[in-house]
Chain A
Amino acid sequence: MEELYARDIYGKTLVELGKKDKRIVVLDADLSSSTRTSLFKKEFPDRFFNFGVAEQNMMAAAAGLASCGKIVFVSTFAMFATARALDQIRNTICYNNFNVKIVATHSGITVGEDGSSHQALEDINFLRAIPNIKIIVPVDAHETRDAVISAYENDGPFYIRLGRLKVRTIENKKQFVLGKGYIVEEGKDLAIIASGIMVDLALRANESLKKENIEATIINMHTIKPLDEELIVEIAKKYKKILVCEEHQVIGGLYSSISEVLIRKYPIKIERIGVENKFGQSGSIKELLEYYGLSADCIAKKVKEYIRQ
């Protein structure tokens, strides 16, 4: 089974885009080796700028560059890209609807041992309410490439959320279409709508559930905004039971987004797996996923409880 770092593919995709389009400029805030924007820097030193540990300046400067016709990719860790520079993103990038593509790495609890200060669990919530921005959580490295190209091809601000870890390549992926989720695996008992690494964990949960004759349909909802409302309603009508899985607070992320759709269009009771209004902490990845209730085992357990209801 192939496992790749999404951020490796991000760096390579930047180089690929940089070769064909001179308008591309890349900014980083002292984390270029981690975010892999260093790959772009090596190829195009004249179009790469390190801003040091100063994310607010980097975001507003990205807007200035974009105002002069540049397509600007900005990278740092998800925590600092969003929480630290939120006003700059809201007022100077999004309000102007500039071509600034924020690609943040090290999101979520799976940052691991660095602990709470580095585990962005609220980033989607911070950005989701801002007009103009589009938010993508790619499922694996290949979809990361698609997402980055989509951000390049479509005007306006984007937020692409990547993790730190290697991610397993998902089989049965559909062609990436911005704003369109898709079914990765068909089941009969309920639907799991997930994003990012939670899709892989849901697939693993499904493996063990199948032994007990339980099968979930698993949907990769890679675009959080604009959300695929049509698919959500269709799935709700078909399965009547939806479990949403996200590596984010249960407040303000994918679960909230889906709830907002269903409450208006097809009100059913849905369930969730996510971080339950808590801060993260240090620990191994396995321990953290277990402790915060996000692991494949936790998903399988939740599914069993849910379908018994």
Chain B
Amino acid sequence: MKEKIKNLKSKANEIRKLVIRMTTCAGSGHPGGSLSSADIITCLYFEVMRHNPNDPNWKDRDRFHLSKGHCCPALYAALALCGYFPVDELWTLRKLNSKLQGHPDRHTPGIEVASGSLGQGLSVALGMALAAKIDNKDYRVYCLMGDGEIQEGNIWEAAMAASHYKLDNLCGIVDYNHFQIDGRTEEIMNLEPIINKWEAFGWHAIECDGHNFQELLESFNMAKNIKLKPTVIIAHTVKGKGVSFMEHVVDFHGRAPTQKECEIALKELEDLDKLDSQL
């Protein structure tokens, strides 16, 4: 377990460095939420999910849908590190004719369904989970949502339907970093009591530290064993996690680091890596 977590930490750190480099190179993008969701995505792609980068259309694969599409730099980095496409393609992010669009697109190997317009992803995941039930398949569906995103009414339509259809093969994750573009979620549109909301909609709700791999793995494992209802993991996270001057800073929701900031950020992440490897 200890070794497993050490490896996951190192992968997540690699993803964070790629996120910083990609968005800096692109000159735009959404680093803040990419960093807050990096550990969740790492956990899914390097431990939890059943998938095969050599066969992205494998019928029995677990599905992942990034409903908060703007955080695709973290997902692209994970896909590249898994081997869905060469790491070098990451530097084409947001460039004309690139497979790596500003928001996820099906041209990218490993992307199931495009996203970007918020609030629709849980419905998409619900459709995938229904398809599994129709076909009697045991694949699971994971859907990562933003906290600001769940202000969309469409999310709650999907939440209601997922429990109605007893979709225990569906697992939602809320990246609860408490920031949206205009400020703190508490100020813009309060989400609390967030657990009660999901439970009232018939979901099994789990809270965990979204940067603690032990807790994340336990939560995903628990979700697999909950029957006859979907599970949501409320992952408490830090926007901009891993880079001191980006943490809890709303400005980095939708702004790329400058070249100078990029260098400092990469240095910090290197140091973090060294620290982790000494543990």
Q: Which residues of A come within 8 Å of B, CB atoms?
A: 25, 46-47, 49, 51-52, 54, 56-70, 87-88, 91-92, 95-96
Contact of B158 among A49, A60, A67, A69 (CB under 8 A): A60
- Residues on B with beta carbons closer than 8 Å to the beta carbon of A46: 134
Q: Would you call B150 an interface residue if the criterion is a C-beta within 8 Å of the partner chain's C-beta atoms?
A: no
Cα distance A249–B95 when bound, in Å? 40
- Residues on B with beta carbons closer than 8 Å to the beta carbon of A58: 123
Cα distance A49–B165 when bound, in Å? 9
Contact of A65 among B112, B119, B121, B127 (CB under 8 A): B127
Q: Would you call B87 an interface residue if the criterion is a C-beta within 8 Å of the partner chain's C-beta atoms?
A: no
Cα distance A47–B135 when bound, in Å? 10
Interface residue range, chain B: 20 to 34
A46 to chain B, nearest CB (A): 6
- Give B131's nearest chain A residue, CB to CB: A68
Cα distance A109–B44 when bound, in Å? 51
Q: Would you call B205 an interface residue if the criterion is a C-beta within 8 Å of the partner chain's C-beta atoms?
A: no
Question: Which label, helix, strand, loop or mixed, suits the secondary structure of the A interface?
Answer: helix
- Residues on A with beta carbons closer than 8 Å to the beta carbon of B165: 49
A92 in contact with B158 (CB, 8 Å): no
Give per-residue flags for B101-132: 1 if the beta carbon is below 8 A from chain A beta carbons, else 0. 00000100000111111011101111111111
A43 to chain B, nearest CB (A): 15
Q: Would you call B214 an interface residue if the criterion is a C-beta within 8 Å of the partner chain's C-beta atoms?
A: no
Q: Would you call B151 an interface residue if the criterion is a C-beta within 8 Å of the partner chain's C-beta atoms?
A: no
- Residues on A with beta carbons closer than 8 Å to the beta carbon of B89: none
A-B contact pairs, 18 of them (CB 8 A): A25-B131, A52-B160, A54-B160, A56-B120, A57-B154, A57-B161, A61-B158, A62-B127, A64-B129, A67-B131, A68-B127, A68-B128, A68-B135, A70-B131, A88-B154, A91-B117, A92-B120, A95-B114
- Residues on B with beta carbons closer than 8 Å to the beta carbon of A61: 123-124, 126-127, 130, 158, 161
B116 in contact with A91 (CB, 8 Å): yes
- Residues on A with beta carbons closer than 8 Å to the beta carbon of B125: 64
Q: Would you call B83 an interface residue if the criterion is a C-beta within 8 Å of the partner chain's C-beta atoms?
A: no
A67 in contact with B157 (CB, 8 Å): no
B113 in contact with A92 (CB, 8 Å): yes
Given A56-B123, A61-B123, A61-B127, also A92-B160 (CB < 8 A): no
A67 in contact with B127 (CB, 8 Å): yes
B158 in contact with A57 (CB, 8 Å): yes
A67 in contact with B112 (CB, 8 Å): yes
Cα distance A52–B163 when bound, in Å? 13
B120 in contact with A88 (CB, 8 Å): yes
Cα distance A6–B106 when bound, in Å? 36
Contact of B126 among A52, A64, A96 (CB under 8 A): A64
- Residues on A with beta carbons closer than 8 Å to the beta carbon of B123: 56-61, 63-64, 88, 92
- Residues on B with beta carbons closer than 8 Å to the beta carbon of A56: 119-120, 123, 153-154, 157
- Residues on A with beta carbons closer than 8 Å to the beta carbon of B113: 63-64, 67, 92, 96
- Give B125's nearest chain A residue, CB to CB: A64
Given A46-B134, A54-B160, A92-B117, also A66-B154 (CB < 8 A): no
User: Across chains A and B, which 5 residue pairs bring their CB atoms closest together, nearest first?
Assistant: A64-B127, A60-B123, A68-B131, A57-B157, A61-B127
B19 to chain A, nearest CB (A): 24
Cα distance A91–B123 when bound, in Å? 13
Give per-residue flags for B56-82: 1 if the beta carbon is below 8 A from chain A beta carbons, else 0. 000000010100000000000000000
B154 in contact with A65 (CB, 8 Å): no
Cα distance A60–B129 when bound, in Å? 13
